[in-house]
Amino acid sequence: MNHSHTWEDFKTKASALNLKVDDTKKYTTYLLEGSEQTKKIRDRSLKNDKFLKENLKERIERNTIGYSVEEVVKLWNDKESIQEKGQEKEIEMLLEHWQVTKETEKDLVVTIDTAFDNEATIKIPARCVDKLENGQYKIFIKKGDRFSYLDKRSPANHKIMVGATVAKNLQRQSGNIPLYSDNVNIKLKQVFHEFDFLISQGLGFDRSFETIGEELKATYHETEKQLDKLDTKIIEYVEQNKSLDYVDTTIRDTIKNLKLERDDLRDTLYKVDKNIQYYQKSEQRLEAYQKNQSPKHKARDDDFEI
């Protein structure tokens, strides 16, 4: 949508990203091929009106840069890669050596406690594990990761536990507190990458450039909201536990990790702010360039030609 210059060009690029756009009938429909979506969706059924054909065409006509299909596919793949790598580390956590039943080249076999004091084993892929020199393991998993586990009392029963629940179970065992990363950072990296891509095209800023500016501002406000929520969470946690002994390592580790999350968010906010400033300077350079290219200025330049 940001990188097409005609409706037909949009359909071609959508097709290259496995999005089938069919406008041969009364209603325009979309189908994401290779996904869980099995039925076409009408544009009028979508919540966002910007995906209506007439609105899309109007939006596309405002673009001035014509990116090739190959460039759009590369940009999309890079964006997906950034998101996947970022989300692989949604939850960071320490495992003690006694929590690990077996270590292989492919995975780490870990014992977890389930309901009714039952024990079960799950496998954490080796790519999500760092073995530390002190014998501990650092794991990186997603909240929505699905882990199949076997109940030791009922080996025939295969069940599923998501990453967020796995982290809570492991925390109950060892007392090690999970560290959660923020999705704003992932979004920010994607915006930066697209910004760099546009700059590499030679300051040909059009509607795509404006969209990035809007995304930067939205990311800034989203980060501010997350910071406010986290500050409130820290205050509430300290208030709830102020009567307890601060020597309790669980309380100390929880506060420490909450502060780490806050520091990470503050760093994100700083990066967004710096890039908004850079964006604004680029915008000023663009305005100056366009002003110098106007017919009026060109005429003045011609007056000095001999």
**pLDDT tens per residue across all 306 residues of the chain:** 666 777 887 788 777 777 788 888 888 888 877 766 677 777 777 666 777 778 777 877 776 555 666 666 666 565 555 445 444 457 888 888 888 988 888 888 888 877 655 778 888 888 888 888 888 888 888 888 888 877 666 666 667 888 888 888 888 887 777 777 655 555 555 555 555 555 555 444 445 556 666 766 777 777 777 778 777 877 777 777 766 665 556 667 777 777 777 777 777 777 777 767 766 666 666 666 566 665 554 444 444 333
Which helix (H) or strand (E) segment holds residue 157: the answer is strand 154-162
Q: What is the pLDDT of residue 32?
A: 77
Q: What is the pLDDT of residue 25?
A: 83
Q: What is the pLDDT of residue 265?
A: 72
Q: What is the pLDDT of residue 181?
A: 66
Q: What is the pLDDT of residue 153?
A: 66
Q: What is the pLDDT of residue 239?
A: 76
Q: Which residues pair with 151 in a beta bridge?
A: 120, 154
Tell me if the pTM is above 0.85.
Answer: no
Task: Give residues with Cβ within 8 angstroms of 204, minimum separation 6.
Answer: 64, 65, 198
In the chain, the amino acid numbered 27 is Y
Residue spans per domain, the chain: 1-63, 91-180, 182-295
How many whole angstroms separate alpha carbon 21 and alpha carbon 11?
6
Q: What is the pLDDT of residue 171?
A: 82
CA distances from 167 to 2, 58, 91, 97, 218 (A): 39, 47, 8, 16, 31
Tokens 């795509």: give the residue.
208
Q: Tell which residue, 3, 50, 4, has the closest CA to residue 28.
A: 50
CB hemisphere CA count around 180 (13 angstroms): 14
